[in-house]
A and B are shown apart, each in its own frame.
Chain A
Amino acid sequence: AQTVTQSQPEMSVQEAETVTLSCTYDTSESDYYLFWYKQPPSRQMILVIRQEAYKQQNATENRFSVNFQKAAKSFSLKISDSQLGDAAMYFCAYRSSGNDMRFGAGTRLTVKP
């Protein structure tokens, strides 16, 4: 079974600084997608960014970018110029041909003013 591991239960960053959240996964599939979701205190799940396994180029969405290392099965999220509104739980997720999506345990990000 595929597993997704987020080894950092909590992280903090100073406003305007950069922070990287880690995620590793275990799979024997060759084709899959990886996602990062944000969950603010409102409990809403918000898609941040996604990456296809076959694409070597790292995905970028404004201040959010990923470092995808396929051989190492690593998919970290970098948040640049952190803002107070970035404070949330962040979940890494994996989806393959099995059609379901598996999530990591999450990282709680605190942004200090």
Chain B
Amino acid sequence: NAGVTQTPKFQVLKTGQSMTLQCAQDMNHNSMYWYRQDPGMGLRLIYYSASEGTTDKGEVPNGYNVSRLNKREFSLRLESAAPSQTSVYFCASTELGLNSPLHFGNGTRLTVT
């Protein structure tokens, strides 16, 4: 059982380049999330999708776009990467219901030079 799969694991971009981070889950979860993790700031929510066909902004959405392609897949796109977007990115999924924990992928380390 793969759980939440993120690709790629590492990526280096030059300022202004674009890329898409892919995320897929095989647990039939309704909700999916994208977080970024920076030292001293914990995990901050970029975007989330409560269910297929819906997306909502989180705490730090600027510079990002998302697509909920289907129930399994939720991608994060950087249209024009900036050094401030250097971070570790995590995708997560969960069932609806407050008691349901998030299940995380293994993260993508992105460096923008």
Residues of A within 8 A of B (CB): 4, 6, 9, 31-33, 35, 42-45, 47, 50, 52, 91, 93, 95-97, 99-106
Contacts and interface: CB of A to CB of B under 8 A. Distances in A.
A51 B48 CA distance: 23
Interface of B: 31, 33, 35, 40-45, 48, 50, 56, 58-59, 88, 90, 92, 94, 96, 98-99, 101-102, 104, 106-107
Contact of B107 (A43, A101, A106): A43
Nearest to B98: A33
Contacts, number: 54
Contact of A103 (B42, B94, B107): B42
- Majority-rule SS of A interface residues: loop
A4 to B, nearest CB: 8
A32 B45 contact: no
B40 A50 contact: no
A47 B58 contact: no
Contacts of B104: 44-45
Nearest to B101: A47
B81 to A, nearest CB: 21
Given A43-B106, A44-B104, A95 B98 contact: yes
Contact of A44 (B33, B101, B106): B106
A100 B99 contact: no
Contacts of A91: 42-43
19 contacts: A6-B42, A32-B98, A35-B101, A43-B88, A43-B107, A44-B104, A45-B102, A45-B104, A52-B99, A91-B42, A99-B48, A99-B96, A100-B33, A100-B48, A100-B56, A101-B45, A101-B102, A103-B35, A103-B44
A35 B100 CA distance: 10
Contacts of A95: 98
A71 B53 CA distance: 38
Nearest to A51: B99
B31 A99 contact: yes
